[in-house]
């Protein structure tokens, strides 16, 4: 049995780099057995204290014991890289330190997590000093892009550790999405998440298509980040997205994925039943403060995902964000269409595999408990925005062939 102890820090407008909790991780080999968690007493008496995981870590004194059976608690799971990212980190450790780490070990994985991350949390070894930075400067993007191409095959024999360390490999869902190499960068204007095109795996120019979809989503009334495309980076293009978790004063907003909120309490496993948009609505009703505002955003997001045929609407691609003293649905991210005919959405609605199209929602009346008039207005706004796809595609210089393929997949 191995036990490791950690200090948990926040860096928010109300709690600038504050030790807020203690964490203990018990492992037997590579098997996570138990996690102990306790809020700091000074944090609990602060007027703006909030739960880091409202589903399983309610505010209160005393230790919370989480039993783990083939699962990882949300606080850690959202913080760590996913399985793909952990494999890359293990390869980095081997190349840089000639050290073997176990990709399945939470303790080994926590030892490798860097100081650049999405969100307000920092988990450091007991007595350690938390560091928050915005990543590298935009000037280093070419080196990071080259490393991103190299690790599409993580067994590549010629990986430069210095380049690999520039990449952000954190878990999908904490504002970043799945197994796509990324980097956290900054310049004098702000902080960015760089998303790299995958040389052989992308069905279209992802950088330009995603930017066009984000701007189309804004026209549909969704809260999304803006960004721009950098050209000529090792002969390819890179999307730089403005980070919605960073404040102007370089504080952060805390995030928790819907996947984390749905963890099975007795095992810490991911939800074992079919995922539905209704389940997101339930979490909003349970933990958000301005429920109607977040449900309205969720309705827009569901209808927009269906309209553009974004079938990657899984549990980690939705989050709640804590800002202005409350949890609310986080800005939408990873809004890109599938061009695979017949592909199913990861999230259903009620007991159907496919959520309603905007034209269907108009006929249904209430959705997520929102009045029929609101559902109709939102549906029409989504239809209007997505109908202008060619306009958004042209403004972001999406190739004509890519634009036509994507338009054919639309489900209005």
Mean of pLDDT values over 51-58: 97
**Cross-sheet strand order for the sheet of 121-125:** 64-67, 31-39, 18-28, 2-10, 121-125
Mean of pLDDT values over 8-21: 96
The answer to whether 337 and 263 have CB atoms below 8 angstroms apart is no
The answer to whether 235 and 251 have CB atoms below 8 angstroms apart is no
Q: How confident is residue 48, by pLDDT bands cut at 50, 70 and 90?
A: very high
Please report which helix (H) or strand (E) contains residue 5, including its range.
strand 2-10
pTM greater than 0.85 (yes/no): yes
d(CA 318, CA 331): 9
Mark out the alpha helices in 335-371 (DSSP H runs).
Answer: 358-364
**Average predicted confidence (pLDDT) for the chain:** 88
Q: How confident is residue 179, by pLDDT bands cut at 50, 70 and 90?
A: low
CA distances from 318 to 78, 141, 172, 259, 261 (A): 12, 27, 10, 8, 11
Say whether domain 254-408 belongs to CATH 1.10.390.10.
no
Residues of the chain with CATH 3.30.200: 136-242
Residues 344-354: tens digit of each pLDDT: 899 999 988 89
Residues of the chain with CATH 1.10.1070.20: 254-408
Q: How confident is residue 176, by pLDDT bands cut at 50, 70 and 90?
A: very low
Say whether domain 136-242 belongs to CATH 3.30.70.
no
Residues 93-139: tens digit of each pLDDT: 666 666 667 777 888 888 877 667 889 999 999 999 998 888 888 98
Q: How confident is residue 305, by pLDDT bands cut at 50, 70 and 90?
A: very high
Contacts 24+ apart (CB under 8 A), 365-374: 367/299, 368/277, 368/278, 368/281, 368/295, 368/298, 368/299, 369/281, 369/295, 370/292, 370/295, 370/296, 370/299, 374/296, 374/299
Q: For strands 182-187 and 136-137, give the pairing.
A: parallel
Residues 209-256: tens digit of each pLDDT: 999 999 999 999 999 999 999 999 988 899 999 999 999 888 999 999
d(CA 169, CA 86): 8
The answer to whether 375 and 361 have CB atoms below 8 angstroms apart is yes
Predicted pLDDT at 177: 41
């Amino acid at each position: 049995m191995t036990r490791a102890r950690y200090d948990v820090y926040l860096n928010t407008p109300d709690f600038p780099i504050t030790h807020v909790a203690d964490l203990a991780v018990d492992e037997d080999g590579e098997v996570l057995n138990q996690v102990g968690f306790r809020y700091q007493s000074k944090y609990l008496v602060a007027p703006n204290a909030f739960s880091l995981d409202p589903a399983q870590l309610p505010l209160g004194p005393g230790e919370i014991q989480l039993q783990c059976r083939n699962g990882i608690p949300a606080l850690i799971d959202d913080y760590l890289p996913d399985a793909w990212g952990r494999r890359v980190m293990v390869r980095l450790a081997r190349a840089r330190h000639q050290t073997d780490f176990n990709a399945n070990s939470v303790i080994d994985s926590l030892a490798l997590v860097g100081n650049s991350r999405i969100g307000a949390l920092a988990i450091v070894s007991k007595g350690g000093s938390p560091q928050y930075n915005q990543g590298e400067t935009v000037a280093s993007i070419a080196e990071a892009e080259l490393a991103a191409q190299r690790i599409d095959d993580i067994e590549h024999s010629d990986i430069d550790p210095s380049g690999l360390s520039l990449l952000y490999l954190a878990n999908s869902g904490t504002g970043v999405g799945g197994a796509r190499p990324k980097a956290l960068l900054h310049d004098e204007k702000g902080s960015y998440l760089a998303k790299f095109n995958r040389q052989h795996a992308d069905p279209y120019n992802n950088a330009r298509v995603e930017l066009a979809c984000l701007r189309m989503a804004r026209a549909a009334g969704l809260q999304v980040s803006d960004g721009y495309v950098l050209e000529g980076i090792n002969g390819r293009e890179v999307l730089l997205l403005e980070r919605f978790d960073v404040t102007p004063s370089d504080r952060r907003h805390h995030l928790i994925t819907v996947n984390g909120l749905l963890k099975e309490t007795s095992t810490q496993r991911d939800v074992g039943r079919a995922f539905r948009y209704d389940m997101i609505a339930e979490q909003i009703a349970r933990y958000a403060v301005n429920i109607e505002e977040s449900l309205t955003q969720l309705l827009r997001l569901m209808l927009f995902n269906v309209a553009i045929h974004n079938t990657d609407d899984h549990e980690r691609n939705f989050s709640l964000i804590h800002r202005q003293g409350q949890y609310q649905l986080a800005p939408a991210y990873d809004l890109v269409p599938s061009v695979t005919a017949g592909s199913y959405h990861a999230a259903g609605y009620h007991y159907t595999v496919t959520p309603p199209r905007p034209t269907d929602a108009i006929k249904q009346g209430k959705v997520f408990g929102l009045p029929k008039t609101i559902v109709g207005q939102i549906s029409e706004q989504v239809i209007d925005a997505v109908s202008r796809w060619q306009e958004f595609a042209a403004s972001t210089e999406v190739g004509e062939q890519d634009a036509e393929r994507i338009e054919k997949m639309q489900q209005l």
